[in-house]
Structure formats: C-alpha cells, structure tokens
A = this chain, B = another copy of it.
Amino acid sequence: MNHGGDIWTYGKIGELVDFSSNINPLGYPEGLLTKILEDFDSVHRYPDIQYRALRGHLSEYLGADPENIVVGNGAMELIDGILTSVKRVLIPVPSFVEYELRAHIHGLEMVFLPMDKQLRPMLDIWGEYIRESRDASTALVIANPSNPTGYVFTEEQMLELIDLCQISQVELILDETFVEFTDVNYDTIQIASVFGFEGVSVIRAATKFFGIPGLRLGYGVTSSRMKAFLDQRLNPWSVNALAEIAGSVLFQDRKYIDQTKQYIRKERSRMLNALSQLTFLKPYASDANFILLKLHSMTAVELFEGALTRGLLLRTCDNYRGLDHHHIRVAVKSRSDNERLLQYLQEVNQIGK
C-alpha cells in the first residue's frame, strides 16, 4: 500500500523532509509534553472505555453535545466503522485511497462519482447517483477539503449535498480531517446539529492539525443512533491513554490554532504563486495544507526520485483512482523546507526548457 508519511521505507529519520504527509509544520502544542509527563502513570491503567473527559473537551472545542461525539484511532477507524453499517458506497474520483480499500474489505458495492477536469465535484451528476440510492443502504463518503486536491466545497454546495442525502436517505460521511487548515466560512457541525446528525457524520482528527500523527486521535460528531452502533462496533480502548489526556491540552490552545491558520494561509498562497510560475507543471487550486501538481514533461516517479536525492520525500499519486503517473502531491511545510522544494523545482524547470 502506497501511503504518505512512509519515511521508513525511503530513508532515515531526520535525513528526509517529508512532503508526502500533511502534518502541521509548527509541531505540536507546547503544553503537550508537560501534560503527558504530569500524567504519565496513565499508561498503567486502561483508558476510560467511554472517554468521558476527552469527549467533554471535544464538546467545548466543537460546540457539540458530548452525546454526539465519538473518538477513534485516527479518523479512518471511525470512517471504516460507519462503512460497515451500509451495503453500498458512493466515492468521488479521486479520493483518499483508504475509502476504496476499506469498502473492498467489507465487500461493499462501490459506485464512483466523477470530478470535472479541474478535479472539482460535478454536483449535478452526483445528485442523480444520490437520488438513485434511495432505500439501498448507501453511504456517500467525501472529503472536505478533498484529498488530494485541497478543494473546499462552497456553503451552497455543502447544503445541497446534505439536503440530497437527507431526502434520499443516503448516509453522508464528511471526512473533514484537514478542514481546520482551510478558510472555510461555514461549519458542517453546526449545520448538521440542527437535525441531530441523523444521516450525517462529520469526522475530523487531531492527528493532522495538532501535529500528532504518532499519537493517533480521530473524532467525529454523529447521530446517537450511529454513536451506539460505533460504540459496539469499534474495538474497546482503541484510543490510548496518552492521546486521551492530550485532549485537555490540544483543543484549548488558541494561540497554536491561530498561528497555524495564519501560517498555512500565507505560506500556501506563496507556494501556489511560485508553483504557478513553473512551466513543467500545473498546481491545482487548493484551500488546504497540501497542493496537487500535474507534471507536463516528466513522470511523477522521475520527479519523486530526483527530489529524493535532495532529501525531499514527495507523494506520487498513481494509486489514486482517476489520477495517473503525472500527478504528484506536496505538503505545505516550514518556510525553509518549502524554499528547498521550490528551489529544486525551479532547477528542474530550468533544465526542462
């Protein structure tokens, strides 16, 4: 399985700059280590099997009722769990590769939804598929922002999607793992809370935005019906005790949250601008902390291998259904790391001329 973040296969830790996984480049919140040291003895007991304190912290952060909040070992454990409640799933193309893999494992029928040439959703066509799914035990799983494109749904599109799914009784799984990196001007949690999340699950993660992929912490807001289903379905204690206590530090660190948002906004714009001046590739418009590139005059593997000799790990995308060996993805990293990448790409551009 080709995944981002696999520095273990390609080199030694500390020798590679990892542009292949989309983790907050500011590191993790300052208070995290102190809190974990303070409560380290929690490794010697089981986590609360109901994660009451953790769900309480999430409740404040998200403005949602704790009774609608679920936690998991990364966002995918929750998405995977919800997928086991249906027989059929609609998946946009391209999407994060795990959706299709997990659907395959659970023996679900898969229906693929098209994107346009700019890899934006074609809601007219999606609407037909959604309406056809009525009474067929179907889920639609979409990422907002999309991965690997970084496309954010407009509020109008999002309301239309939710409405379509509600009318057609399609279970909507909104994977908002990267949403805090965007400047989205609506909150799907507030939108769906109006009808108690019936038929809509909003899944997010501390993993990416709070820079702790190693600690494993995903969460979601969902209906009490789906929460009861997941409480039974997921393996017990799948969130470890250190991730559990981290919840009392992460979600209230406004300084870290604001700094991250400001930094990503500015740096993404700077990178998109620099990338758009290169002639051998085209960046797709992104509102997230990563950018998908289409290469005109070389393959993704050629660029991947060239970058690797400079200590830069990129993400080839040919295992994304709907993309090919000309697509490659890069994360927004620290200013100096981004400079190294841009400089390398400018050199490649120069040679290609």
The interface of chain A, by Cβ under 8 A from chain B, is 1, 3-9, 13, 18, 21, 23, 27-28, 32-33, 36-37, 40, 42-50, 52, 73-74, 76-77, 80, 98, 101, 105, 211-216, 232-233, 235-238, 240-244
Residues of B with C-beta under 8 A to A21: 45-46
> CA A242 – CA B33 in complex, angstroms?
12
Of all chain B residues, which has the CB nearest A14? B41
CB of A45, distance to nearest CB on chain B (Å): 6
Residues of B with C-beta under 8 A to A49: 1, 3, 5-6, 8
Residues of B with C-beta under 8 A to A13: 45
Known contacts being A74-B235, A235-B73, A235-B77, is A213 close to B45, with CB within 8 Å?
A: yes
> CA A242 – CA B245 in complex, angstroms?
14
Task: Verify B5–A27 contact, CB threshold 8 A.
Answer: no
> CA A1 – CA B215 in complex, angstroms?
26
Residues of B with C-beta under 8 A to A232: 101, 105
Interface centre among A45, A46, A73 (most CB of B within 10 A): A46
Of all chain B residues, which has the CB nearest A79? B235
Of all chain B residues, which has the CB nearest A13? B45
Q: What 5 pairs between A and B have smallest CB-CB spacing? A: A214-B241, A5-B46, A8-B48, A43-B214, A216-B240
Per assembly, the copies of the chain total 2
Q: Which of B23, B42, B52, B244 contacts A44 (CB 8 A)?
A: B23
Task: Verify A43–B77 contact, CB threshold 8 A.
Answer: no
Interface centre among A44, A47, A98, A244 (most CB of B within 10 A): A44
> CA A4 – CA B8 in complex, angstroms?
37
Q: Which of B43, B73, B212, B244 contacts A73 (CB 8 A)?
A: B73
Residues of B with C-beta under 8 A to A40: 33, 36
> CA A42 – CA B242 in complex, angstroms?
13
Residues of B with C-beta under 8 A to A6: 46, 48-49
28 A-B Cβ contacts within 8 A?
A1-B49, A3-B236, A4-B46, A5-B49, A6-B46, A6-B49, A8-B49, A8-B50, A9-B50, A13-B45, A21-B46, A27-B44, A42-B214, A43-B211, A43-B212, A43-B213, A44-B212, A44-B213, A44-B214, A46-B213, A74-B236, A74-B237, A77-B235, A214-B240, A215-B240, A215-B241, A240-B240, A240-B243
CB of A70, distance to nearest CB on chain B (Å): 15
> CA A242 – CA B215 in complex, angstroms?
7
Known contacts being A74-B237, A214-B241, is A5 close to B43, with CB within 8 Å?
A: no
Residues of B with C-beta under 8 A to A46: 4-6, 21, 213-214
CB of A119, distance to nearest CB on chain B (Å): 24
Of all chain B residues, which has the CB nearest A81? B235
Known contacts being A52-B8, A214-B240, A215-B242, is A235 close to B80, with CB within 8 Å?
A: yes
Residues of B with C-beta under 8 A to A80: 235
> CA A1 – CA B50 in complex, angstroms?
10
CB of A284, distance to nearest CB on chain B (Å): 24
Q: Which of B47, B77, B211, B236 contacts A1 (CB 8 A)?
A: B236
Residues of B with C-beta under 8 A to A212: 43-44
Residues of B with C-beta under 8 A to A42: 214
Residues of B with C-beta under 8 A to A105: 232-233
> CA A243 – CA B13 in complex, angstroms?
18
